[in-house]
Amino acid sequence: MRRGCLPAPAHFAESFLGLSFLAFHEKVAVSRAMGCIPSEWRSRTDLDRITMLDWLQEKQQPQAAIDRFWYPILVSAVNEELHTMAAAHGLQVFWLGMLSQSDSYQMGLPSVPLRELYSEQGLGPNIQIHYRSPITGISLLNGHISGLESNDRLIEADYYVSALPFERVQALLPALPIQWKVFEHSPITGIHIWFDRPVTNLPHAALLDRTIQWMFNKRGGRYLQLVVSASRGLTEMSKQGIVKLAVRELSEFLPAVRLASVEKAHVIKEVRATFSAKPCLDAFRPDADTIFPNFFLAGDWTRTGWPATMEGAVRSGYLAAEAVTRAAWSPRNFLIPDIG
Ligand SMILES: Cc1cc2nc3c(=O)[nH]c(=O)nc-3n(C[C@H](O)[C@H](O)[C@H](O)COP(=O)(O)OP(=O)(O)OC[C@H]3O[C@@H](n4cnc5c(N)ncnc54)[C@H](O)[C@@H]3O)c2cc1C
């Protein structure tokens, strides 16, 4: 999809109408539903309680439009199935990423690894990063955090911000009054395949109506990375079985795969890849402030209003930093307004 000459929210119209994998009546149905998003996103109060599939059925979306348009975009953006994802997050993806502004779909790509981007030098003075130093305990004294245990050391500070995933916070600080049971994980599976010859010259592709969702050409059309979000169906399957399935599905789209041999393959099942952005979860996501006046929570799973994304994680960091400055009687604002 490319931006055309029409203003937002119709800037994708020309490109969308040209999509070859949707029939005309499916495009009309998708456009009708898209047209409802700007007003419903602001005005409806039940979007966190219903699933995205409920919303799509309410908008009478044909099955092919769901399978070939809504599903591929949303399952990878939110890492959840349509029948399990809160409609609020589904609409948010389309509103912020596609409809609100004509350039809001554009992305910045770091040209260096994150480790370099967020090095001590990159972050500024007075920053020290301790690698391989997991926190193994959190000490409490008189209702405050008095220190963190790591590698047999006690680390003391005025204020502490946790950016751990929810299951680690629960293990380290079970005293926090958070309804841990409502938080669940959603898996992602990555499949890396090296062929003995180039099988494609596409930089990337979405495989419609298949288990494999995305293909990324990592090197010369010979090394392909495949991604399956919300991959619960693959968690029990053997790695060999997953590679076989992936090669079979790829060969349906890329005929050269039929003539090629697999030189090596890796399957990475991330069972705890992200939290599941299911309906009614937002009310349970904690704010940065906790019952401990010198301890704050960040992380994509906290109350950011976003599903499990890097944007959500970054916003949680800004919110935690704001909470620390409030606790230190020197409040500052860091959060950048949403684009929509
Ligand atoms: C395979 C995959 C693909 C993804 N793709 C995308 C994407 O394309 N776009 C997108 O926006 N998001 C994507 N996400 C989601 C995104 O990565 C997360 O939402 C984001 O990284 C969450 O950031 P976070 O800082 O909250 O948590 P994390 O990035 O999970 O960071 C938590 C950190 O805590 C550390 N930790 C754990 N226990 C301890 C301990 N005891 N002591 C010290 N440190 C500890 C961990 O090592 C980790 O570094 C993807 C996630 C996965 C798994």
187 CA → ligand 1 middle, Å: 12
Q: Is the CB of 270 under 6 A from ligand 1?
A: yes
pLDDT at 143: 95
CB 102 within 8 A of CB 11: yes
Number of domains forming the structure of the chain: 3
| Predicted pLDDT at 328 | 97
Among the ranges given (25-34, 118-127, 271-280), the one the predictor scored with the smallest mean pLDDT: 118-127
As a residue count, the chain comes to: 340
Give CA–CA dist 325/158, Å, rounded.
Answer: 12
- CA of 234 from ligand 1 middle (Å) equals 21
Q: Evaluate: CB of 293 within 6 angstroms of ligand 1.
A: no
Whether residue 271 sits in one domain with residue 196: yes
Distance separating alpha carbons of residues 151 and 317, to the nearest angstrom? 25
- Overall average pLDDT of the 58-65 stretch: 98
Give 125's pLDDT tier (boundaries 50, 70, 90): confident
> What confidence score (pLDDT) does residue 116 get?
87
Do 92 and 206 belong together in one domain? Answer: no
User: Is 4 within the bounds of a domain?
Assistant: no
CA 299 / ligand 1 centre spacing (Å): 8
Question: Do 178 and 189 sit in the same domain of this protein?
Answer: no
What the block records as the tokens of 201 is 């010259």
Structure confidence at residue 71 (pLDDT): 98
pLDDT at 115: 85
* Average pLDDT estimate for 186-207: 97
pTM: 0.94
Confidence of residue 107 (pLDDT cuts 50, 70, 90): confident
Residue 286, burial from CB neighbour count under 10 angstroms (0-12, 13-18, 19+): middle
Residue 320: which of 308, 306, 303, 305 has the closest Cα? 303
Is 234's pLDDT higher than 80? yes
What pLDDT shows up at residue 123? 86
Question: Ligand 1 in contact with 48 (CB < 6 A)?
Answer: no
Q: If you take atom 33 of ligand 1, which residue's CA is the nearest one?
A: 164
Q: Does 258 share its domain with 196?
A: yes
One domain for residues 139 and 287: yes
**Residue 216: predicted pLDDT:** 97
Q: Residue 90's domain spans which residues?
A: 13-99
CA-nearest residue for atom 48, ligand 1, is: 164
Give me the CATH number covering residue 319: 3.50.50.60
Which of 161, 164, 169 to mutate to test ligand 1, by most ligand atoms within 8 A of the CB atom? 164
